[in-house]
C-alpha cells in the first residue's frame, strides 16, 4: 500500500456527524492524508491541518490526541501495514486510500494508544461512512476486530527490520551496519525521544528548575515532555530546544571566543545560538527565507542577535570579504538520523533523494574548502544515517583534494558528561552517532561529524 497515488491533492469530506470523538478522528484522517498522500512533512501537514480542517473546533485535549495519533501512526507505520496485511486476502485497490488510512489510524489506536476498542472501531466505521470508504466498512470492521482480538499476540511478534522500517531503509542499513545494529535502529525508530535543551549558562541550576538531567556541558534532558513554550526561562531566552547530538558540533572547533565563524545552512539556528553564546562573531547563512525568519525570532528571544549577522544566500554563490578561518557546514541531508522525532522522514525519502543530496553536499564542501583561509577549521555535519552523506562523502573529498586533511576528533571535544561521553570515534577520526535508546541516557539523534583542516 506504499504506492498510494500522489495527486491530485488529498481532501477528506467534512461531516455533520455530532458524535463524541468523531471530529478529532476526521481531522486526523485529513492530517494523515496530507503526509502520506500529498507527501508533506509532519510540520507542513500540521500547518495545513490547522488552516484547512476543523482543527480550531477541537479543544486542547483533542488537539493533543490528534497529534499523538498521527505521530504514533507514522512511528509504527511499517509494522501496522504488516499487521493489516496479515488479515487481508488481497490488497486494497489504489483508489481506496481513505479506507487504507482509516485502517492505519484504527490499528494505531488499538495497538499503541490503548483507545477503548469500541471507540476505536466504531469511530473508524463512522469515518468510512463520511468519506470515500463506505464500501469498505465490512472489511474495516473485520480487520480492526481481528487486530483487537489478537493485539497481545501482535505486540509480542518477533519482527525483522523489513517489518519495522521502510524497505529501502532496512535493506540499506543492513548492508552497511549489519543486522544487529539495524535492529537497534529499528527499535529506536519506534520510540519517542526525550527533549533536550541547550542552556546559555548554569546548566545544573536549570536542570533542577526544569526537572532535567545534565548530560552535556550546557545540555540538559527533560525527564518529561511539558509544553516547551510554557517552561520557566523560555520567554527570557535562557535556552532553546536542541538534541544533545546536534550540540556536539560546535565543540569540535578550537576556542571560538572572539573569532569570526561562518555558520552555513544555519537556520533555524541551534548551532548559531551556541556559537554566539560562546562569544563568537557569527555570520549565519541560509538560502531559505522562511527558515531565516525563525532564526531571527530565536536570536531575538535568546538575546543573542547582536553577535550574529544573517545573510540569505546560496552558499555556492557566496563570496566572503575575507577568507574565513572557522566554517561550520550543517549540510542539507536526508535527515534520517532524526527519525525518532520525525518518523515521516523514512516514509517520504528514498535512495534517490540521498543520491541527489550527496551531490549538493559535495558542491558545498568544495565551496567551503575553496573559500577557506589556509589553516582554517571546517566542521562538516549531517543528521543522516546514510554513509553516502557521511563516511563516504568525507573519504571522497579527502581522496580528491590535496588542500584539505581530516583532523581526528577526540572525546575531550564532545562536550558530554558521564557515561554517554564514551561515544565511539572511528579510527579515521570522524564521529558517527547512532540513535541507541539502550545507552545510559536513552539515546540521541543520529549524526555524522568530521573536522577538516585547510592545508
Instruction: Write the CATH number for 338.
Output: 3.40.50.150
Number of domains making up the chain: 3
Q: Are 284 and 271 in contact (CB under 8 A)?
A: no
| Same domain? 297 vs 445 | yes
| Same domain? 49 vs 177 | no
| Same domain? 319 vs 397 | yes
- Is 13's pLDDT higher than 70? no
Q: What is the pLDDT of residue 9?
A: 59
Domain span holding position 334:
245-454
- Is 355's pLDDT higher than 50? yes
- Provide the mean pLDDT of the chain: 92
| Same domain? 185 vs 113 | no
Give phi and psi for 285, each to the nearest 5.
Answer: -120, 135
Residue 258, burial from CB neighbour count under 10 angstroms (0-12, 13-18, 19+):
exposed
Q: What is the mean pLDDT of residues 281-307?
A: 96
Separation of alpha carbons 256 and 236, rounded Å: 25
Separation of alpha carbons 357 and 425, rounded Å: 24
Separation of alpha carbons 317 and 384, rounded Å: 25
The reported pTM is 0.91
- Is 360's pLDDT higher than 90? yes
- Is 199's pLDDT higher than 80? yes
| Same domain? 282 vs 314 | yes
Of all residues in the chain, the percent with pLDDT exceeding 90 is 85
Separation of alpha carbons 455 and 22, rounded Å: 64
| Same domain? 129 vs 174 | no
Q: What is the CATH number of the domain that holds 70?
A: 1.10.940.10
Separation of alpha carbons 363 and 379, rounded Å: 15
Separation of alpha carbons 49 and 43, rounded Å: 10
Q: What is the mean pLDDT of residues 320-340?
A: 96
- Is 212's pLDDT higher than 50? yes
- Is 395's pLDDT higher than 70? yes
| Same domain? 151 vs 168 | no
Which of 115, 133, 157 terminates a domain? The answer is 157
| Same domain? 174 vs 107 | no
Amino acid at each position: 500500500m506504499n504506492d498510494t497515488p500522489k495527486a491530485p491533492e488529498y481532501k477528506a469530506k467534512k461531516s455533520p456527524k455530532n458524535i463524541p470523538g468523531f471530529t478529532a478522528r476526521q481531522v486526523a484522517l485529513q492530517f494523515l492524508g496530507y503526509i502520506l498522500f500529498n507527501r508533506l512533512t509532519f510540520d507542513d501537514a500540521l500547518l495545513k491541518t490547522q488552516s484547512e480542517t476543523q482543527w480550531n473546533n477541537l479543544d486542547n485535549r483533542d488537539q493533543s490526541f490528534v497529534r499523538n495519533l498521527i505521530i504514533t501512526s507514522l512511528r509504527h507505520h511499517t509494522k501496522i501495514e504488516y499487521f493489516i496485511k496479515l488479515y487481508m486476502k488481497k490488497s486494497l485497490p489504489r483508489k481506496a486510500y481513505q479506507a487504507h488510512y482509516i485502517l492505519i489510524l484504527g490499528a494505531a489506536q488499538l495497538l499503541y494508544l490503548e483507545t477503548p476498542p469500541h471507540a476505536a472501531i466504531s469511530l473508524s466505521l463512522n469515518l468510512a461512512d463520511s468519506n470515500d470508504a463506505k464500501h469498505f466498512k465490512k472489511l474495516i470492521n473485520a480487520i480492526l476486530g481481528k487486530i483487537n482480538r489478537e493485539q497481545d499476540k501482535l505486540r509480542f511478534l518477533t519482527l525483522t527490520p523489513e517489518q519495522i522500517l521502510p524497505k529501502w531503509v532496512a535493506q540499506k542499513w543492513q548492508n552497511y551496519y549489519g543486522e544487529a545494529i539495524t535492529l537497534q535502529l529499528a527499535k529506536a525508530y519506534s520510540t519517542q525521544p526525550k527533549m533536550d535543551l541547550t542552556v546559555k549558562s548554569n546548566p545544573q541550576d536549570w536542570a533542577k528548575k526544569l526537572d532535567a538531567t545534565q548530560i552535556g556541558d550546557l545540555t540538559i534532558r527533560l525527564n518529561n515532555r511539558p509544553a516547551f513554550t510554557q517552561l520557566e526561562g523560555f520567554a527570557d531566552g535562557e535556552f532553546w530546544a536542541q538534541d544533545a547530538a546536534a550540540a556536539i558540533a560546535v565543540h569540535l572547533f578550537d576556542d571560538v571566543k572572539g573569532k569570526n565563524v561562518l555558520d552555513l545552512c544555519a537556520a533555524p539556528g541551534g548551532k548559531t545560538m551556541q556559537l554566539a553564546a560562546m562569544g563568537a562573531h557569527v555570520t549565519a547563512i541560509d538560502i531559505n527565507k522562511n527558515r531565516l525568519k525563525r532564526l531571527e525570532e530565536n536570536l531575538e528571544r535568546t538575546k543573542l542577535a547582536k553577535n550574529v549577522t544573517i545573510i540569505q544566500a546560496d552558499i555556492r554563490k557566496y563570496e566572503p570579504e575575507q577568507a574565513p578561518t572557522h566554517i561550520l557546514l550543517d549540510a542539507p541531508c536526508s535527515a534520517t538520523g532524526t527519525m525518532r522525532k520525525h518518523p515521516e522522514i523514512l516514509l517520504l525519502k528514498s535512495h534517490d533523494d540521498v543520491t541527489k543530496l550527496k551531490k549538493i553536499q559535495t558542491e558545498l564542501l568544495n565551496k567551503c574548502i575553496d573559500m577557506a583561509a589556509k589553516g582554517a577549521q571546517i566542521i562538516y555535519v549531517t543528521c543522516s544515517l546514510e554513509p553516502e552523506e557521511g563516511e563516504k562523502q568525507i573519504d571522497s573529498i579527502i581522496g580528491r583534494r590535496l588542500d584539505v586533511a581530516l583532523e581526528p576528533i577526540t572525546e575531550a571535544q564532545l562536550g558530554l558528561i558521564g557515561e554517554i561521553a564514551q561515544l565511539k570515534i572511528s579510527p579515521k577520526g570522524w564521529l558517527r552517532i547512532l540513535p541507541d535508546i539502550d545507552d545510559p541516557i536513552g539515546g540521541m539523534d543520529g549524526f555524522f561529524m568530521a573536522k577538516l583542516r585547510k592545508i
